[in-house]
Amino acid sequence: MEFFYVSLLCLFVFLVCLSFHFLFYKNKSALSYPLPPGKTGWPVVGESLEFLSTGWKGHPEKFIFDRMAKYSSIVFKTHLLGEQAAVFCGASGNKFLFSNENKLVQAWWPNSVNKVFPSSTQTSSKEEAIKMRKMLPNFLKPEALQRYVGIMDHIAQRHFASGWENHDQVVVFPLAKHYTFWLACRLFLSVEDPNHVAKFADPFDVLASGLISIPIDLPGTPFNRAIKASNFIRKELVAIIKQRKIDLGEGKASATQDILSHMLLTCDENGKFMQELDIADKILGLLIGGHDTASSACTFIVKYLAELPEIYEGVYKEQMEIAKSKGPGELLKWEDIQKMKYSWNVACEVLRLAPPLQGAFREALSDFIFNGFSIPKGWKIYWSANSTHKSPEFFPEPEKFDPSRFDGSGPAPYTFVPFGGGPRMCPGKEYARLEILVFMHHLVKRFKWDKIIPDEKIVVNPMPIPANGLPVRLYNHNMQA
């Protein structure tokens, strides 16, 4: 009998221990794995200065590749912009993040972004971004973009006539910014007057430079200047919004003419319309996204075509075949854009070597395991375009300019990510493709050019740009637009 009670007691203890084991394992399984290797740097600032300074020095990939070599080629930990962070690298990291959007991870922006766009007080910036992503496809899908081709062609003609023609030398980056910003103002706001567009240009440059920065709000810091610039632009946008309301009421504006009209006339599921400041913030974000990245891409297209005469000749031949098929004064059409296959391959290779979007942040929604390492809930996760774009594993001879990489089915999935990927892939991808190809068409049919500074330094702040703006010497083909 004593043996029976001892056995029963042992069984009871075993079951209790087993229960505690499963309870502990269930709650702590993710945290039982080690954190990714790496270091967190200095108190408060972490490794933010190193992260940003490698870009300022023109080699943003150095921060990533140095730590991939030292710690792990898949994932390492760091501390960026005031947050504990893990950097996911390579195609496997991209696939994991893009496939687990809103499951294990969600979009995250540094505090600097929320402080620069402060008006959406009723909902979070994440919720506002979701609303925008639902709204944008109506304007940025290929079917909708078809009606923009002629408008873009018209603006491009005016841009090249005023800024490039009759000049022996030009500085490319400011001109590229003017072109893409003019297009964004015209297509999002129906603002076309060059003087009105110019009024926004400088504040937008200041805003873009300080948007992703260390959020120190002291006079003279990039962050402080960005806040002041955003306040100025917001006031200007509110004035445009108020006038548009009047024009819509009087029948002087169309309900479908641009995104601004759509925002003013569309209510949410509760029948509420957006407030003027909320619309101003959204338009502000669209104008930044709609021109800044494309202006960087256009600038680097000019750079690489200057350095690679054989690539220029291929683009020139393709674009001249299209130009010669047009009648006097006839604008480009959607069908013409579809013929620019080699030109787009060239543009994609530029986007691989100098991606305007260097990477983006996510936030862990719960504890999870990646590649044998624990990622705690709340940690920020950064993915880097350069971890695949500049990797010989995915792009042999990665520094070589080779548009043929994009022939056929193109690069392997999750390796070419200038527009991100998954549910959060940039909704303006097709819009960017259109404005870049229209720019290339007008550029090469008018000019050849040489770089004035052969070894001009590249800086990244927050997008790659030539340090001196890429001055070039122009040689006109003597062909009328």
d(CA 467, CA 458): 5
Residues forming beta bridges with residue 381, ordered by sequence position = 86, 362
d(CA 256, CA 141): 15
Contact 469, 452 (CB under 8 A): no
Question: Minimal CA–CA distance to 377: which of 368, 386, 389, 390?
Answer: 368
Q: What 3-state DSSP class applies to 368? A: strand
Q: Going by C-beta distance under 8 Å and a sequence separation of 6 or more, which residues neighbour residue 183?
A: 152, 155, 290, 291, 435
Tokens of 356: 């305007």
**Feature table: binding site for heme:** 426
Question: What's the first-to-final CA gap in the chain, in angstroms?
Answer: 106
Q: Going by C-beta distance under 8 Å and a sequence separation of 6 or more, which residues neighbour residue 269?
A: none
Give 420's DSSP letter: -
Q: What 3-state DSSP class applies to 413? A: coil
**Feature table: binding site:** 426
Beta strands in 219-335 (DSSP E): none
Unique residue bearing structure tokens 């013929």: 339
Q: Is 363 left (phi over 0), alpha (psi -120 to 50) or beta?
A: beta
Mark out the alpha helices in 119-213 (DSSP H runs).
125-135, 137-140, 142-145, 149-163, 172-184, 194-211
Q: Going by C-beta distance under 8 Å and a sequence separation of 6 or more, which residues neighbour residue 267?
A: 273
Question: Minimal CA–CA distance to 179: which of 209, 199, 201?
Answer: 201
